[in-house]
């Protein structure tokens, strides 16, 4: 193939958006830039006490433009003229209410400051009651519309969030003509195709979060939705067909081509969730588990349809034909808090210091930056003791196995001799135990796991956390070399959508970054962690029973 072809992967994360310009022939990263959402950074439209997390569409629009322009500015002169394709990934489920023209309500007069008119971020758990209602109705229905998403519907997903808002905000309920996932809206913006009748809906988001399945003709029917709330009836025909992410959404619009300074025939790919494209960027193969580790984790694996297509894997975040790679059954699980758990401890330690030492914020910022690294360095020197504190990783509820976001964490074994280092180690172990429960669920349900890959900031920066994970899983953990694997995966999809490669396998072979480290389990630690894991399960069962009561 020609070497003068570049593609752009755009990765919308929780705090920021990153654009990555990639040489499609070699996979070499030519330039990248990150844009932090200014409104989100100020804490606007969020209420942590209520687990309300909303993001304004202007953060996304500004970030889309600035990140791509910034990435292109890092490239050699003339690169922008050689861009052939752009694909995006986003968090999810992160839907927004739109009008008949596909415009988010927060961009319309009268809704600019209304959080319910904004994107409802994946980690928003204001709809716990609504998720419970969906499960109640689904499990008593003739057809259980949750059976392809693990059998338990989550408050992190599409219909629960919509149901909560239409119940609590009459103005949004009346104005909303439809709801669109973030990963579908960005390609619609870039192509100018935002009309609801033609806007393309991704298989990944629809199958994993919206109970879409070809077996019942698309979305759940009107009679089911009406049982949840009468106003949902109008949404049963929001869309019927879905597309896999190798399907082009169309050429870039003249407006955005001019805005970004790239060719007018640049192909825009249809979108998908960050973890699914990240797994592709990591080099996923059948029965390889890709742990996309950030503020939370998404655990992605896949298998041939003829081998696992008949399964109904309980308690995961969905099994969808083509959600990762066309022709494969994509399976998703994950933990609702991972990096967030470590960040919580850092805030716990630093918050009073900032309050008491307001005149030395520069020094405090330096300490904060080094804190987790110091704790990890000290923690790896501690001996393993059976009396050490034991922690559940449910700081943001439990995503999998068996979603329940009403759950809270618990800490067992605290005493006056416990210090910050010991508590940090217990938190690292908790996140590893949560990961093991996911692996064991896949295996027990008939999905073998042959290899484990890890990608993301925590995977690359915290060798201690990865070593503990290897010990707990009793499996090697291979660390993906690329710092931007999700954006790289999006770039691979862009290369396929633009016709540079015939399929994802060819794009992976040419563009994958490979691995730069492997953490092997330490045999002397494996029995200790196996016993601790059983205690983790017992603590979890006790805590869940107590909280439920």
Q: What percent of the chain has pLDDT over 70?
A: 99
DSSP conformation class of 366: H
Is residue 20 one of the residues assigned to a domain? yes
Residue 453 placed within a domain: no
Number of Cβ within 10 Å of residue 41's Cβ equals 11
Q: What distance in Å separates the CA atoms of residue 89 and residue 11, rounded to the nearest whole number?
A: 5
- 96 and 120 in contact (C-beta within 8 Å)? yes
300-326 average pLDDT score? 96
**Does some domain include residue 133?**
yes
Q: Are 485 and 508 in contact (CB under 8 A)?
A: no
pLDDT for res 236: 87
- The answer to whether residue 28 is domain-embedded is yes
How far apart, in Å, are the Cα atoms of 485 and each of 289, 342, 406, 512, 530?
A: 15, 22, 32, 9, 31
- What local confidence, expressed as pLDDT, does residue 3 receive? 60
Q: Is residue 216 part of a domain?
A: yes
Instruction: Evaluate whether residue 57 is within a structural domain.
Output: yes
Contact between residue 518 and residue 477 where contact means Cβ atoms under 8 Å apart: yes
* pLDDT beyond 50 at 1: no
Instruction: Write the pLDDT tens digit of every residue in 270-286.
Output: 999 999 999 999 999 99
Q: Is the pLDDT of residue 115 over 90?
A: yes
Q: What is the pTM of this model?
A: 0.94
Report whether pLDDT(55) > 60.
Answer: yes
Q: What's the average model confidence in pLDDT over 394-399?
A: 94
Distance of CA 483 to the CA centre of its chain: 16
Q: Which pLDDT value is given to residue 464? A: 97
The owner of tokens 């949560």 is: 434
- Please give the mean pLDDT across all residues of the chain: 96
Q: Any residues with CB less than 8 A from the CB of 368 and at least 6 apart, and which?
A: 346, 350
pLDDT tens readout for residues 355-384: 999 888 899 999 999 999 999 999 999 999
Token pair in block for residue 451: 């290899």
Residue 41 has pLDDT above 90, yes or no: yes
Question: Tokens standing for 259?
Answer: 């805005």
User: What distance separates the 2 farthest-apart alpha carbons in the chain?
Assistant: 66
* Beta strands in 358-423, from DSSP E residues, in sequence order: 390-391, 411-412
pLDDT tens digit string along 170-185?
999 999 999 999 999 9
For the CA atoms of 177, 122, 252, 283, what is the dihedral angle to 10 degrees?
-140
Provide the domain limits for residue 31: 6-282
- The Cα–Cα gap between 431 and 418 comes to 19
Give the CATH number for residue 217.
3.30.420.40
Give the Cα separation of 73 and 59 in Å (integer): 21
**What is the average per-residue pLDDT within 44-54?**
95
Provide, rounded to the nearest whole percent, the portion of the chain with pLDDT above 90: 95
pLDDT exceeds cutoff 70 at 302:
yes
Give the integer Cα–Cα distance in Å for 205 and 217: 16
Inside any domain, residue 404: no
124 falls within a domain? yes
CA-based nearest residue to 458, from 342, 317, 333, 335: 342
Question: What is the number of domains present in the chain?
Answer: 1
């Amino acid at each position: 193939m020609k070497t003068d072809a570049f593609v752009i992967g755009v990765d919308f994360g929780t705090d920021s958006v990153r654009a990555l310009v990639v040489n499609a022939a070699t996979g070499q990263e030519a330039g990248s830039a990150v844009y932090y959402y200014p409104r989100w950074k100020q804490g606007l439209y969020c209420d942590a006490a209520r687990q309300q997390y909303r993001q304004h569409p202007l953060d996304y629009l500004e970030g889309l433009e600035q990140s791509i322009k910034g990435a292109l500015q890092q490239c050699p002169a003339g690169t922008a003229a050689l861009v052939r394709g752009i694909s995006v990934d986003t968090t999810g489920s992160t839907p927004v209410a739109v009008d008949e023209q596909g415009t988010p309500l927060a961009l319309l007069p009268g809704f600019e400051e209304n959080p319910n008119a904004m994107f409802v971020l994946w980690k928003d758990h204001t709809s716990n009651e609504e998720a419970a209602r969906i499960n109640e109705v689904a499990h008593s229905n003739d057809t259980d519309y949750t059976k392809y998403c693990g059998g338990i519907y989550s408050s992190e997903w599409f219909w629960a969030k919509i149901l909560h808002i239409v119940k609590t905000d009459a103005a949004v309920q009346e104005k909303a003509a439809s709801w669109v996932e973030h990963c579908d809206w960005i390609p619609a913006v870039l192509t100018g195709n935002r009309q609801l009748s033609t806007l393309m809906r991704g298989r990944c988001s629809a199958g994993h979060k919206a109970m879409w399945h070809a077996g019942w003709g698309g979305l759940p029917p009107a009679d089911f939705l009406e049982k949840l709330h009468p106003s949902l009836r109008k949404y049963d025909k929001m869309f019927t067909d879905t597309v896999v992410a190798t399907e082009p959404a169309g050429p870039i619009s003249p407006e955005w081509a001019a805005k970004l300074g790239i060719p007018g025939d640049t192909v825009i790919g249809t979108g998908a969730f960050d973890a699914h494209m990240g797994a592709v960027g990591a080099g996923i193969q059948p029965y390889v588990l890709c742990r996309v580790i950030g503020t939370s984790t998404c655990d992605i694996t896949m298998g041939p349809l003829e081998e696992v297509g008949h399964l109904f894997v309980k308690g995961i975040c969905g099994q969808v034909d083509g959600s990762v790679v066309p022709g494969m059954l994509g399976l998703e699980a994950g933990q609702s808090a991972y990096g967030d758990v470590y960040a919580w401890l850092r805030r716990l330690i630093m918050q009073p210091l900032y309050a008491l030492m307001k005149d030395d914020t520069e020094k405090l910022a330096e300490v904060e930056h080094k804190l987790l690294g110091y704790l990890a360095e000290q923690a790896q020197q501690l001996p393993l003791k059976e009396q050490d504190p034991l922690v559940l990783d449910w700081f943001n509820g439990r995503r999998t196995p068996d979603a329940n976001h009403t759950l809270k964490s618990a800490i067992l074994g605290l005493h006056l001799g416990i210090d910050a280092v010991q508590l940090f180690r217990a938190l690292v172990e908790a996140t590893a135990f949560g990961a093991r429960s996911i692996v064991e669920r896949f295996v027990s349900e008939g999905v073998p796991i042959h290899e484990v890959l890890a990608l993301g900031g925590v995977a690359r920066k915290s060798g201690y956390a990865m070593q503990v994970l290897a010990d707990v899983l009793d499996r090697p953990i291979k660390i993906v070399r690329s710092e931007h694997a999700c954006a790289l995966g999006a770039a691979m999809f862009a290369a396929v959508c633009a016709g540079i490669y015939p399929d994802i396998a060819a794009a992976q072979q040419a563009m994958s970054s490979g691995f730069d480290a492997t953490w092997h389990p330490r045999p002397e630690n494996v029995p200790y962690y196996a016993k601790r894991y059983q205690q983790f399960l017992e603590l979890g069962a006790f805590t869940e029973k107590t909280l439920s009561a």
